[in-house]
Structure 1
Amino acid sequence: MASVRTSSSRPYHLVVFGASGFTGQFVVEEVARTASEAPRGNLKWAVAGRSKQKLEQVLEQAASVLGKPELRTGVDIIVADVEEPDSLAAMCKQAVIVLNCVGPYRFFGEPVVKACVENGAHHLDISGEPQFLEGMQLNYHNQASDKGVYIIGSCGFDSIPADMGVLYTREQFKGTLTAVESFLTVKAGPEGGCIHDGTWQSAIYGFADSHKLQSLRRKFNYKPLPSVGTKLKRRGSLFFSNEIQQYSMPFMGSDPSVIKRTQRFLVEEHQASPVQYGAYAGIGGIGNVIKLVFAGMLFWLLVKFSFGRDLLAKNPEFFSFGLFSKAGPTRKQMEASSFRFVLYGEGYTEGLDPSQGKPNGKICTLVQGPECGYVATPIAMVQAALTILNEASDLPKSGGVYTPGAAFAKTTLIERLNKHGIKFSVI
């Protein structure tokens, strides 16, 4: 089995694919920042994408932002295109791990996963698209397992804080943790903030295709997960949360789907008892609620029709009240933003039988960090990659398609994140 330990034959430990994209440029900066922490401080890495000229510009920008002139000439460039399988194969043969930043993944993700599996490179992405993530598991898990290749999805803000946060909460709870609800709040600075249009595009096609996700899930033939303790009640689509003292709604990202897959893995592989999960996001006061209801109704109406999807795709700022934009946030906006992700867990304290009575123990944990989309996401992705390079023996015993929680449960990923500004703590 090809493992990370026999990687010296490949010229690069990491290749950042899609390095000139909006998120890719920040992943490049994060790799450059942390390169000195690799084993023996000699992380070899390269950038890849369609345009050599744009990749040169990204290295130029990283060199001036970080004050590292050596980046201009010291980092190799690989020209590779999702539309050209041979170029992807050539890229994957040179990499121990491909950091894939080319989204929306439902359109561009699979060729890269396929090339990684066939050419023995591990693959990390930052997708928040359940249909893509679960589709890759269905189609490539066995092949990746045979090759000893790890395909680990959602290694960005979706879904490392949530997935590792649930594992952390379980570890800190003395007894059997049965359920967790998480509440995300995002704080912007005086200049406000926004999210790059790529996430908006993923959302448009994700909602339009939601029926396909249901039929995909039926193909797994899963038995329902055993439930322990009281069944977790789902909250309404809009409610006032006493926990965070603001109006809240279900979190629309991939966290619930990713965590369910992790819990299933832990039940099947390690006979752990599963944790039920509910994910919510704070939206603030009544003014935001009115905007959100209005924008949500328009979105639901338009997303059902192809002309509506085109309208939404072309005018993200208008239809999202400025929450999404084609330009993305400025560096100043990013520096002033942060997130808080609070997890409320309940369960049975040590010595109590989970099949008897109601849960009697509670725990509250916190994951907090910098701006989530373009500061925390690159940190999470790069630390996940360094974990694979440094802790190969603590990954699941065979390759395959995994969630972050399934892949990194036995590693020091949480400690690594703590050192890089994404902090896990018990409140």
Structure 2
Amino acid sequence: PATDRPYHIVIFGASGFTGQFVVEEVARTVSEGPNGTLKWAVAGRSRQKLDKVIEQAAGTLGKPELRTAVEVIVADVGEPDSLAAMCKQAVIVLNCVGPYRFWGEPVVKACVENGAHCIDICGEPQFLESIQLNYDSQAADKGVYIVGACGFDSIPADMGVLYTRDQFKGTLTALESFLTASTGPEGGSLNDGTWKSAIYGLADSGKLRSLRKKFGHKPLPVVGSKIKRRYRELCQYVVPFMGTDPSVVKRTQRFLLEEHQETPVQYGAYAGVGGVANIVKMLFAGIMFWFLVKFSFGRDLLIKYPEFFSFGFFSKDGPTRKQMEGSSFKFAFYGEGYTEGQDPSQGRPNAKIRTLVQGPGT
């Protein structure tokens, strides 16, 4: 892609729940770097809403100059010409418009055709893997990078696995991650965009299985002893993590095996759920969710009343700024493998490693 384009970064969907925080983060990062080196713009359907987001960021950060320094591009995911015009002006498009299964592909297509790199925060394995299947060769031909799942929690998971592997003195063969989140006195909730993605993802799980068959992948080889569940060592209740992390990590491991002949790491992902009361809540919510998600009327109910069906875990309004400032997370990685000189095909692992990745407020 040409580097003489007007903008290094265009934030598409800047007025959405996630987009507004991306705008603030980009503005903060630009101001902390060498002055004037990064040109950026915001994009979306409504100029009025985009102006409001810039105004809000200017007030929050105490940077009145944003009101005149940041350009606005009107683009709609349903109007390919507007997307093409946006992508022609950008080196990188940060796509914040989800659920991506409905709105993501036109943006990727426009980026590939018009030579802009595309980064998103998608947590939907079906979208991520279908884009890889359908656009990988076209993007490579154009020299375009399509980088999905660039947000919490896939980045800490994927980078945590790679960091742990690099720190291990020998061959790391198995790794499990345990995610725990904490909230401050204000409590917390998640925006219902993640809730919607989970609803549509589970409803379409059969399509994901058939999509994966199209790749024709052989199962990743198991090196060393088969992964052993270590949750008993944590002294807390955990459940298998239902997000996109296993998909993201396994795709990375496959790439490293096929392109660099590196030993793949077996991976398991879990989430801590606190005490018995939370287990009971999750059990009831899970039963209702699994039943309703199978039917269109059930999906409509789940989407309409996220707070009720998730016991307050998800909300249409999402977390408040104070709730986010008081929230934190910890990713604990427990790995095992074989020290240098030891043969992974012989005997049990003879070394362990633990990595802790923690986020704001911890």
Same fold (TM over 0.5): yes
2:265 to 259, 272, 275: 275
Kindly provide the amino acid, as one letter, of the partner of residue 222 in structure 1: H
Distance 2:57 2:255 in 1: 39
Distance 2:322 2:7 in 1: 33
> How far did 1:73 drift?
1.4
Distance 2:331 2:228 in 1: 20
Equivalenced residues, count: 362
Residue 388 of structure 1 corresponds to which residue in structure 2?
none
Kindly provide the amino acid, as one letter, of the partner of residue 163 in structure 2: Y
Are residue 318 (structure 1) and residue 312 (structure 2) matched?
no
Residue 406 of structure 1 corresponds to which residue in structure 2?
none
1:254-281 deviation digits (Å, cap 9, x = unpaired): 0000111000000011110000000000
State the secondary structure of the residue aligned to 1:288.
helix
Residue 108 of structure 1 corresponds to which residue in structure 2?
103
Q: Is the 8 A contact 1:249 1:281 kept in 2?
A: yes
Residue 226 of structure 2 corresponds to which residue in structure 1?
231
Are residue 90 (structure 1) and residue 90 (structure 2) matched?
no
Kindly provide the amino acid, as one letter, of the partner of residue 282 in structure 1: G
Kindly provide the amino acid, as one letter, of the partner of residue 129 in structure 2: E
Distance 1:107 1:244 in 2: 39
State the secondary structure of the residue aligned to 1:149.
coil
> How far did 1:233 drift?
4.2
1:163 to 158, 164, 183: 158
1:131-180 deviation digits (Å, cap 9, x = unpaired): 00000000000000000000000000131000011000000000000010
Residue 55 of structure 1 corresponds to which residue in structure 2?
50
> How far did 1:244 drift?
3.1
Residue 285 of structure 2 corresponds to which residue in structure 1?
295
Kindly provide the amino acid, as one letter, of the partner of residue 369 in structure 1: G
1:41-94 deviation digits (Å, cap 9, x = unpaired): 511000000000000000000001000001111100000000000000000000
Q: Is the 8 A contact 1:36 1:43 kept in 2?
A: no
Kindly provide the amino acid, as one letter, of the partner of residue 303 in structure 1: V
Residue 13 of structure 2 corresponds to which residue in structure 1?
18
1:305-362 deviation digits (Å, cap 9, x = unpaired): 0000000000000100110011111111111100000100100011111111111110
Residue 73 of structure 1 corresponds to which residue in structure 2?
68
Are residue 33 (structure 1) and residue 28 (structure 2) matched?
yes
Distance 2:77 2:201 in 1: 20
Kindly provide the amino acid, as one letter, of the partner of residue 353 in structure 1: D
> How far did 1:243 drift?
3.6
Kindly provide the amino acid, as one letter, of the partner of residue 304 in structure 1: K
Residue 364 of structure 1 corresponds to which residue in structure 2?
354
Question: Aligned pair in 2 of structure 1 residues 228, 39: CA closer, same or farther (>3 Å)?
Answer: farther
Question: Aligned pair in 2 of structure 1 residues 92, 339: CA closer, same or farther (>3 Å)?
Answer: same
Distance 2:146 2:33 in 1: 21
Distance 1:360 1:234 in 2: 17
- Structure 2, unaligned runs of 5 or more: none
Residue 334 of structure 1 corresponds to which residue in structure 2?
324
Residue 378 of structure 1 corresponds to which residue in structure 2?
none
> How far did 1:245 drift?
2.3
State the secondary structure of the residue aligned to 1:193.
coil
- Percent of matched pairs sharing the same residue: 77
Residue 202 of structure 1 corresponds to which residue in structure 2?
197
Q: Is the 8 A contact 1:126 1:156 kept in 2?
A: yes
Distance 2:118 2:180 in 1: 30
State the secondary structure of the residue aligned to 1:127.
coil
Looking at both structures, which has the greater relative contact order when contacts are Cα pairs under 8 Å and sequence separation is at least 6? 1
2:144 to 143, 149, 152: 149
Kindly provide the amino acid, as one letter, of the partner of residue 297 in structure 2: F
1:217 to 208, 212, 225: 212
State the secondary structure of the residue aligned to 1:82.
coil
Residue 124 of structure 2 corresponds to which residue in structure 1?
129
1:351 to 324, 331, 341: 341
Distance 1:328 1:243 in 2: 33
> How far did 1:246 drift?
1.5
Distance 1:144 1:126 in 2: 19
Which portions of structure 1, spanning 4 or more consecutive aligned residues, are displaced by more than 2 angstroms?
Answer: 36-41, 241-245
Are residue 247 (structure 1) and residue 241 (structure 2) matched?
no
Distance 1:205 1:244 in 2: 32
**TM-score of the aligned structures, taking structure 2 as reference length:** 0.98
Question: Aligned pair in 2 of structure 1 residues 157, 269: CA closer, same or farther (>3 Å)?
Answer: same
